[in-house]
Amino acid sequence: MPALLAAALAGCASLTGAHPGGVTVTAATAITPAPSWTPQTTSFYRGGPVSVPLCRVEGVIEGTIGFELWLPATWNGRLLGAGVGGDAGVYNYTDMSRRVGEGFATVTTDSGHKVTQARWMADPKARVDYEHRAVHLTAIAAKALAAKFYGRTVDKSYFTGCSGGGRQALKQMQNYPGDYDGVIAGAPGPYMPLQSVRMLWFALQQKWTPAGALSDADWALYESKATAACDTQDGVKDGVISKPLVCTFKTATLLCKPGQTEACLTAPKLKMLDLIRAPMRDEAGRAMDGGLFAGVRTRPGPPSPLLRAMWADGVYDDANWNEDSFQRSRDLLAANRKMPELRADKVAIQPFIRAGGKAILYQGWADPSTNAGPTIDYYAALARAHGGLAKLDDSVRLFMAPGMYHCARGPGADQFGASGHLSWPGDPSRDVLWSLIHWVEKGQAPTRLTATKIEEGRERFTRTLCPYPQAARWDRKGPTEAASSYRCAVDPALVRYMSRRSLVGS
């Protein structure tokens, strides 16, 4: 091992043991890739090959919150927190392995439980750690351990996450403004309990009405027909609904004609489709949310295990809870009472703003899981609370991605350096993390991002993403597959939508 490298990693093993704040480092291992090293995991967040030497720190906080911290021998002075989605219980090796090679000290947490832990939501501590404490305590521990290893404090710290990781990013901004200088919150589902009610309620509707249950093929049919009807509203035929707010596709055209059995929906299925697309109503008929935008599909099949666990374990602590007893209003109130910090829709973020914090939110218009409407609603609520959009834009910006599903995928351009994405190191025009860094450290606010569509290992096209309420418009001159042919301009439809929306269920 070269002398300089050996010196850089010499203090690694000394991190093992107890530290202040209930932190215990169970292992601190010097990793010297030859030529590469890949962390072993079976989770969704699989890490890629790492080719730089690092100190791998594994530990626990308070005995239950697991974390990993990777400290590269060649450090850029920055800490990057990597969030996890769903029911957590795993580490985000994807973002860690990608960014540690750029010089970031990277850290992640399992949020206070393991994915294999049965009925963890029945544990009050595990619930609260999952809601917000684990990411906060991990940030504190990571900064202290990095300072001990490098002999100096972290210069700047950032957090990136999507889905549940995006919600974690919002909680950091809202609850712990001193943890991170900048956060990236993708598809965050700001009012997750209400989103969960929607998902469970309509899964139950299809369970109770089998003739109306929609298959993946049914959703694909709807999506393709809606896209065909509204694709060219932006002047470009690319298989993407770029202006969902003005798409008025009539679902009645999907109804099967007499004798037709393919490429159509039966009357019960069409009724179910329209029910799911519309605003969800409470028991008194009042709208609980804003419904779905045109062309957005949802998850087919029975209720997911995570949704059941939320009420069976988290709310009622009853392993035999009968999901058929579910009631929208009652059980939403119960979830908010039992897990109040699961919501990430607080607008009182003055401490974060005063500290110079910056936040970039992003959301796929076609997201079937954490739908786009609630994210825009939250951004609108932030603007109202902080003197309007012009003032909010000094600290928080929202980028909408046409045709992008949940965090990535879908027919639209979906790679721009966000959590789980490919990265463009040092390029703020194509990599949202570096865009955030330039905003925090150089005062250069992001005015556009270039998103890339990769298929079969090659770049198929690029698109421009714009800060809300701007949208990308083709200049009618350049090639439609190039982001350089698009400019950002205020979209009146986005302005109108934002002005009339209030935060549903607040």
Q: What is the DSSP letter of 481?
A: T
Tokens 């298959």: give the residue. 215
In the chain, domain spans: 1-154, 194-340, 349-506
Of 65, 69, 75, 59, which Cα lies nearest the Cα of 16?
59
Structure tokens at 432: 């949202």
Tokens 């690029």: give the residue. 462
Of 90, 111, 3, 105, which Cα lies nearest the Cα of 47?
90
Tokens 């990535």: give the residue. 408
Q: What pLDDT does residue 8 have?
A: 72
Q: What is the DSSP letter of 266?
A: -
Using DSSP, state whether 355 is helix, strand or coil: coil
Residues 6+ apart with CB under 8 A from 324: 204, 208
Tokens 């090959």: give the residue. 49
C-alpha–C-alpha distance, residues 140 and 343, integer Å: 22
Tokens 């993708």: give the residue. 186
Q: What pLDDT does residue 302 have?
A: 81
CB 383 within 8 A of CB 498: yes
Q: Is the peptide bond before 279 cis (omega within 30 degrees of 0)?
A: no
Helix (H) or strand (E) holding 450, with range, is strand 449-455
C-alpha–C-alpha distance, residues 249 and 421, integer Å: 32
Helix extents (H) in 310-364:
328-338, 350-354
Q: What is the pTM of this model?
A: 0.96
Q: What pLDDT does residue 5 have?
A: 66
Structure tokens at 198: 């929607």
Q: Rounded to the nearest 5°, which phi and psi values hold at 43? A: -80, 175
Question: Could you tell me the sign of the dihedral formed by the alpha carbons of 310, 363, 454, 161, in that order?
Answer: negative
Q: What pLDDT does residue 2 have?
A: 63
CB 39 within 8 A of CB 45: no
- Spell out the per-residue pLDDT of the chain, length 506, in tens: 566 567 778 899 999 999 999 999 999 999 999 899 999 888 888 889 999 999 999 999 999 999 999 999 999 999 999 999 999 999 999 999 999 999 999 999 999 999 999 999 999 999 999 999 999 999 999 999 999 999 999 999 999 999 999 999 999 999 999 999 999 999 999 999 999 999 999 999 999 999 999 999 999 999 999 999 999 999 999 999 999 999 999 999 999 999 999 999 999 999 999 999 999 999 999 999 999 999 999 988 888 888 999 999 999 999 999 999 999 999 999 999 999 999 999 999 999 999 999 999 999 999 999 999 999 999 999 999 999 999 999 999 999 999 999 999 999 999 999 999 999 999 999 999 999 999 999 999 999 999 999 999 899 999 999 999 999 999 999 999 999 999 999 999 999 998 886 433 33
Structure tokens at 221: 């049919």
C-alpha–C-alpha distance, residues 397 and 465, integer Å: 12
C-alpha–C-alpha distance, residues 69 and 81, integer Å: 9
Using DSSP, state whether 170 is helix, strand or coil: helix
C-alpha–C-alpha distance, residues 168 and 164, integer Å: 6
Structure tokens at 469: 């309420």
In this structure, how many other beta carbons lie within 10 angstroms of the beta carbon of residue 489?
12
Find the helix packing angle between 192-208 and 267-277, rounded to 10°: 170
Q: What pLDDT does residue 374 have?
A: 97
C-alpha–C-alpha distance, residues 297 and 224, integer Å: 10
Of 308, 304, 302, which Cα lies nearest the Cα of 122?
308
Using DSSP, state whether 255 is helix, strand or coil: strand
C-alpha–C-alpha distance, residues 159 and 139, integer Å: 10
Q: Is the peptide bond before 374 cis (omega within 30 degrees of 0)?
A: no
Strand partners, 160: 82, 184
CA 102: distance to chain centroid?
A: 22
Q: What is the DSSP letter of 356?
A: T
Q: What pLDDT does residue 503 have?
A: 39
Structure tokens at 125: 């501590």
Q: What pLDDT does residue 294 have?
A: 96
